[in-house]
């Protein structure tokens, strides 16, 4: 009997040195990959096969906006098509930040080649925008809310009003973005923790903030609603709104995709929480590349006490089942449980 599954697509920053070769390693549909390469060639950009097949990882090449976006979209679409449909019934799809575009591809709103063109276009349009992006934890070691850290982040947002914004609500982490000066000042003001944070995200502009307005305006001109198709399964966006399969206003979906989510906060936690409440999936499948989504997904579930989980330990114990609740395709031992 099939198990129901929610599919979650990762955002930017998930294709790193450890993921080099990920696409070639898991490629089952060579036609899909060839199509991606054709789109990229037509845009005057390096092909996905060339980037993924490089002899070594280069931060200047692989983290460049239009290259990172292409690699992440290609890996996600490839993984989605690798899910064993005899074992899993995908009931809805969502994503984090750039993962929204991958979600559109998975749901059939965009054909694979159109999706590749969109992520490449959006990467170039938004990379030209000003600003920077960084991440800071709002939780303690047991994934419980740290009120002091939360208050400190809110203080910085207020202090730099109009220049610093909440970019992504990401489980137990705040992703903030804004002008270079505001980001640098906020990072200097927030107390260091966990030997990593505050952590500047390389190659990231002020995504999901008003500083992206120019890129949004250009995207709306390039991508009319006529280039979008009806979703074939429900989509949950970065506000927690559900776009139903076969019953969506495509003009509204186009405006959300190219305007709202580009220039406003992306609440990944709410998207995930709405998805599990509304669709009650038996499993959550995280597409690759990478496996960094797992923590944010777990923290978002803990925040609403999903299936009685209230701590990191609860989630860890739940993952020890023969088929874990959350399955990450970026982890070989869990990938084998999802593939045909």
The domains of the chain, with CATH numbers, are 3-128+212-335 (3.40.366.10), 132-204 (3.30.1370)
d(CA 114, CA 111): 5
d(CA 168, CA 164): 12
What 3-state DSSP class applies to 313?
A: helix
Can you tell me which residue has the tokens 């906060």? 265
d(CA 242, CA 261): 14
d(CA 232, CA 245): 5
Whole-number pLDDT of residue 321: 86
Strand 326-328 vs strand 283-286: parallel, antiparallel, or unpaired?
A: parallel
> How far is residue 110 from each of residues 97, 118, 171, 186, 316, measured CA to CA in Å?
17, 9, 28, 38, 36
pTM for the whole structure = 0.97
CA 299 to chain centre: 15
The percentage of residues in the chain with a pLDDT greater than 90, rounded to a whole number, is 93
pLDDT of 129 higher than 70: no
Give tens-digit pLDDT for 48-87: 999 999 999 999 999 999 999 999 999 999 999 999 999 9
Q: Is 208 within 8 Å of 262 (Cβ atoms)? A: yes
Q: In the chain, count H helices and then E strands.
A: 16, 11
Strand 164-170 vs strand 266-267: parallel, antiparallel, or unpaired?
A: parallel
Summarize the confidence of residues 158-183 as an average pLDDT: 98
Summarize the confidence of residues 35-39 as an average pLDDT: 98
The pLDDT mean for the chain works out to 96
Give tens-digit pLDDT for 182-220: 999 999 999 999 999 999 998 899 999 999 999 999 999
Q: Which tokens hold the place of 173?
A: 């982490």
Sign of CA dihedral 171, 92, 328, 315: positive
Q: Is 17 within 8 Å of 103 (Cβ atoms)? A: no
- Specify which residues 284 forms β-bridges with: 6, 326
**Interior angle at CA 30, CA 110 and CA 35, nearest 5:** 40
DSSP conformation class of 193: B
Q: Give the strands of the sheet with 242-243, arranged side by side.
A: 242-243, 235-236, 88-95, 3-9, 283-286, 326-328
Give tens-digit pLDDT for 241-252: 999 998 899 999
Give tens-digit pLDDT for 137-166: 999 999 999 999 999 999 999 999 999 999
Whole-number pLDDT of residue 340: 80
- Residue 127 or 13, more confident: 13
Residue 52 φ/ψ region, left for φ over 0, alpha for ψ in the -120 to 50 degree band, beta for the rest: alpha
Strand 326-328 vs strand 199-200: parallel, antiparallel, or unpaired?
A: unpaired
pLDDT of 128 higher than 80: no
Q: Is 131 within 8 Å of 206 (Cβ atoms)? A: yes
Give tens-digit pLDDT for 300-339: 999 999 999 999 999 999 898 888 999 999 999 999 999 9
């Amino acid at each position: 009997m099939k198990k129901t599954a929610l599919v979650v697509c990762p955002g930017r920053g998930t294709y790193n040195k450890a993921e080099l070769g990920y696409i070639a390693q898991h490629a089952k549909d060579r036609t899909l990959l060839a199509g991606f390469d054709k789109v990229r060639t037509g845009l005057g950009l390096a092909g996905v096969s060339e980037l993924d097949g490089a002899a070594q990882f280069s931060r200047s090449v692989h983290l460049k906006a239009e290259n990172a976006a292409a690699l992440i979209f290609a890996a996600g679409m490839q993984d989605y098509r690798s899910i064993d449909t005899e074992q899993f019934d995908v009931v809805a799809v969502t994503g984090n930040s750039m993962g929204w575009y991958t979600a559109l591809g998975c749901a059939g709103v965009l054909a694979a080649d159109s999706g590749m063109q969109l992520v490449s276009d959006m990467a170039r349009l938004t990379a030209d925008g000003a600003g920077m992006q960084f991440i800071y934890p709002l939780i303690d070691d047991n994934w419980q809310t740290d009120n002091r850290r939360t208050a400190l982040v809110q203080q910085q947002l207020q202090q730099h009003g109009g220049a610093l914004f909440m970019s992504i609500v990401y489980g137990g982490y705040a992703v903030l973005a804004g002008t270079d000066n505001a980001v640098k000042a906020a990072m200097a003001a927030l107390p260091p923790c966990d030997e990593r944070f505050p952590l500047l995200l390389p190659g990231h502009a002020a995504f999901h903030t008003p500083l992206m307005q120019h890129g949004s305006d250009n995207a709306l001109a390039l991508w009319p609603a006529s280039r979008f198709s009806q979703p074939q399964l429900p989509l949950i966006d970065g506000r927690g709104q559900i776009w139903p399969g076969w019953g969506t206003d495509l003009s509204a979906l186009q405006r959300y995709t190219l305007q709202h989510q580009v220039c406003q906060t992306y609440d990944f936690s709410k998207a995930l929480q709405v998805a599990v409440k509304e669709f009650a999936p038996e499993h959550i499948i995280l597409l690759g590349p990478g496996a960094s989504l797992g923590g944010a997904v777990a923290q978002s579930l803990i925040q609403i006490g999903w299936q009685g989980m209230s701590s990191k330990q609860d989630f860890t114990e739940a993952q020890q089942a023969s088929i874990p609740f959350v399955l990450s395709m970026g982890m070989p031992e869990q990938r084998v449980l999802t593939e045909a």
